[in-house]
Amino acid sequence: MKDTIARYKFRGDYILAKVFSPYISKKLQTLQFDFLVPVPLSPKRLYERGFNQSSALIREAGYTPSELLLRSHSEKQSKKSRKERIQLMQVFELCPDSVVEGKNILLFDDIYTTGSTLYHAAVVLKSAGAKSVCSFTLARG
């Protein structure tokens, strides 16, 4: 799975999103949420990759991603140690005009390593009044 996600995420093998889509779609049908929010990439990382891997997985599963968060640029998480990932500073903010108060949010990411990324994204959403924030990830690393 590690090699497959690396191929998809870092080498741009977008077709792999289609491979995962039936599994993701089936699982999402069992969950209740108001917004399905992909973990955002920084503008620099989005430019380098050409696509947000989490947004692509959501779309290929037949859902519409709710782009409610922005991410400032930071060093690649894949290049950091476990300790450095856990000590991640807040890199997310709510997009202007996004209203999440009272909403159930499902954060979506491709891989869960330490939980730090999802934690920081959830803090922003909860601080903005989200009723609940849960997460869905394709794999655990």
Where do the domains of the chain lie? 2-140
pLDDT digits (tens, 9 = 90+) for 112-141: 989 999 999 999 999 999 999 999 999 987
pLDDT at 13 (0 to 100):
83
pLDDT digits (tens, 9 = 90+) for 76-120: 555 656 566 566 688 999 999 999 999 999 999 999 989 999 999
Are the C-beta atoms of residues 14 and 56 closer than 8 Å to each other? yes
How far is C-alpha 61 from the chain's CA centre? 14
Token representation of residue 132: 């609940």
pLDDT at 21 (0 to 100):
94
pLDDT at 6 (0 to 100):
83
C-alpha span between 102 and 114 (Å, rounded)? 27
Q: Which residue, 79, 64, 77, is CA-closest to 119? A: 77
C-alpha span between 23 and 18 (Å, rounded)? 10
Question: Is the per-residue pLDDT at 4 higher than 60?
Answer: yes
pLDDT at 11 (0 to 100):
81
pLDDT at 58 (0 to 100):
97
For range 63-83, the mean pLDDT: 76
The CATH class of the 2-140 domain is alpha beta
Tokens 């997985």 belong to residue: 57
pLDDT digits (tens, 9 = 90+) for 34-47: 999 999 999 998 99
Per the DSSP assignment, residues forming a β-bridge with 90 are none
pLDDT at 2 (0 to 100):
83
